[in-house]
Homo-oligomer: A and B are copies of this chain.
């Protein structure tokens, strides 16, 4: 037995490694689990085979103090091993995993509100080291705090590189052995998840996707293979606090899978992740036709939030009425100039879609698709960002982070999408509307500051007088204006 660490901070990873059989197929034949106990509480988690006769069990403790554990396995060498470790206070910046807080939003387990402002680099871990490092540097230089990324490699327009490793071991005939995994691949993936963790970024892991079309065949494996792949991923990665589970990207484009398959896969994730990381599934859209959008039924209990693809970012109020769960529009088209419809909106439009989402109590996710001589396009490969929206998105994020934690959409009288806390705080966004003035019904017994926000120029202009009661606010004659009103006494 080797405890990688005898002290683990809260929401850090405790890892136990064990030596065991390396003959036959331990991935398939040597199951292992452990029970972790804290006082009267017990959490069970699966271990996994990591190659070379090494078995590991990872655990993320959520309470400070002494945790005891004991393994169980039909393999005698792996069975009945027990011990303990001490869980210490979390280090700075560690707020624990993200949870759904209410029907609008997320929070870390320590209570810190988490506003997802994500971006998308589907295949970045499948590129060369240099590109991966460049991607991390770009992420460090920008304000994004969630990254949508695929476990399986991607074979698609502008992205046909073969990666250096795959989740499954290769067979001699160059096919894949679906009963064996490749520990080197997972070590790479885990390193990148931890790199993101250091940057304060949630890894929104896409577990299946259709961008394969049989090229490697990961989009059309047997149910048994899908299930064992998922179990292996869950055993290895669940203990990382910054992991989210995205069952699939454009799940409805995976024609080999039926709705019942997604139900089954969701339940595996729900049952085998002991920590309840966020779980969702992302739909595709065809064309520009609303009728083409087929959501998975987000009302099902194993779906924690909506991870939508839709170009119409005014729809969250409708979806919320149906599902009562937080909404992330994880694809709203990308800033860029590709020929494909999903890949050529302007920075102005991307910024507008973020604001429209936020003021409806939802979230939006960024992606960038500018043509590049070597096809280094952020949305697929990471690398560099060239667009003008990331800076504006970070500006919006800073505004939202200053909002009162309990803000909600304020319907009705304000005639314009607004979030806030009644009589305390209002954030309104006008988008393509440009009223020359607004009448705002504020309470008579309080005093408010008003600020005009130019969401494109990123300026905040404070009115030199305060407002009280029904107030008339002059507004600039321009696109993309927001207004923030805050009570001062």
A residues near B (Cβ < 8 Å) are: 287-291, 312, 314-315, 317-318, 321, 333, 337-341, 343-346, 349, 371, 411-412, 415-417, 430, 432-439, 477, 479
B residues less than 8 Å from A430 (CB atoms): 344
Contact A339 B479 (CB under 8 A): no
Q: Considering only CB atoms, which chain B residue lies closest to A439 in the complex?
A: B339
Complex Cα gap A105–B40 (Å) = 73
Give which listed residue, B314, B333, B340, B344, contacts A312 with CB less than 8 A. B314
29 A-B contacts (beta carbon < 8 Å): A287-B411, A288-B416, A288-B417, A289-B314, A289-B317, A290-B318, A291-B317, A312-B314, A333-B433, A337-B435, A337-B477, A338-B435, A338-B436, A339-B436, A339-B437, A339-B438, A339-B439, A340-B415, A340-B435, A341-B415, A341-B435, A343-B435, A344-B433, A344-B434, A344-B436, A345-B433, A346-B432, A346-B434, A346-B479
Cβ contact within 8 Å between B339 and A432: no
Residues of B within 8 A of A344 (CB): 430, 433-436
Nearest to A338 among chain B residues (CB) is: B435
Chain B positions within 8 Å of A436 at CB level: 337-339, 344, 371
Shortest CB-to-CB span from A17 to chain B, Å, is 51
Set B288, B291, B337: member contacting A434, Cβ < 8 A: B337
Query: What CA separation (Å) do A315 and B289 show in the bound complex?
Result: 7
In angstroms, Cα B318 to Cα A426, docked, is 35
- Please, how many angstroms separate the alpha-carbon atoms of A318 and B317 in the complex? 20
Are A339 and B435 touching (Cβ within 8 A)? yes
Q: How many copies does the complex hold?
A: 2
- A477 partner residues in chain B, CB cutoff 8 A: 337
Q: Which residue of chain B has its CB nearest to the CB of A472?
A: B339
Tell me whether B318 and A291 are in contact (CB under 8 A).
yes
Q: Tell me the smallest distance from the CB of A472 to a CB of chain B, in Å.
A: 9
A435 vs B439: C-alpha distance in the bound complex, in angstroms? Answer: 40
Given contacts A290-B318, A339-B437, 16 further A-B contacts (CB under 8 A): A287-B412, A288-B417, A289-B411, A291-B321, A312-B312, A312-B314, A337-B436, A337-B477, A338-B435, A339-B435, A341-B415, A341-B416, A341-B433, A344-B433, A346-B434, A371-B436
**In the complex the two chains form, what is the Cα distance from A288 to B435 in whole Å?**
15
Instruction: Give every chain B residue within 8 A of A371 (Cβ-Cβ).
Output: 436
For the complex, give the distance between the alpha carbons of A477 and B430 in Å: 25
Q: Report the separation of the CA atoms of residues A433 and B348 in the bound assembly, to the nearest whole angstrom.
A: 11
CA distance A315 to B338 in the complex (A): 24
Q: Closest approach, in angstroms, between the C-beta of A307 and any C-beta of chain B?
A: 20
B288 touches A314 (CB 8 A): yes
* A200 CB → nearest B CB, Å: 32
- Cβ of A306 to closest chain B Cβ, rounded Å: 16
Question: What chain B residues lie within 8 Å of A434 (beta carbons)?
Answer: 337, 344-346
**Smallest CB separation, A309 vs chain B (Å):** 15
Minimum CB–CB distance for A19 against chain B, Å: 55
The smallest C-beta distance from A483 to any residue of chain B, in angstroms, reads 12
Q: Which residues of B contact A333 (CB under 8 A)?
A: 433
Shortest Cβ gap from A319 to chain B (Å): 10
A341 — nearest CB in chain B belongs to which residue?
B415
Which B residues are in CB contact (< 8 Å) with A340? 415, 435
Known contacts: A344-B435, A371-B436. The answer to whether A287 contacts B415 by CB under 8 A is yes
Residues of B within 8 A of A417 (CB): 288
Contact B345 A432 (CB under 8 A): yes
User: Which residues of chain B are within 8 angstroms of A290 by Cβ–Cβ distance?
Assistant: 314-315, 317-318
In whole angstroms, how far apart are the Cα atoms of A116 and B411 in the complex?
35
Specify which chain B residues have a CB less than 8 angstroms from the CB of A432 in the assembled complex.
345-346, 349
Please state if A289 and B318 are interface contacts (CB–CB under 8 Å). Answer: yes
Chain B residue at minimum C-beta to C-beta distance from A473:
B339
C-alpha spacing A430/B345, complex, angstroms: 10
CA distance A341 to B418 in the complex (A): 13
Give the residues in chain B near A437, CB-CB below 8 Å.
339
Contacts of A343 in B (CB 8 A): 435
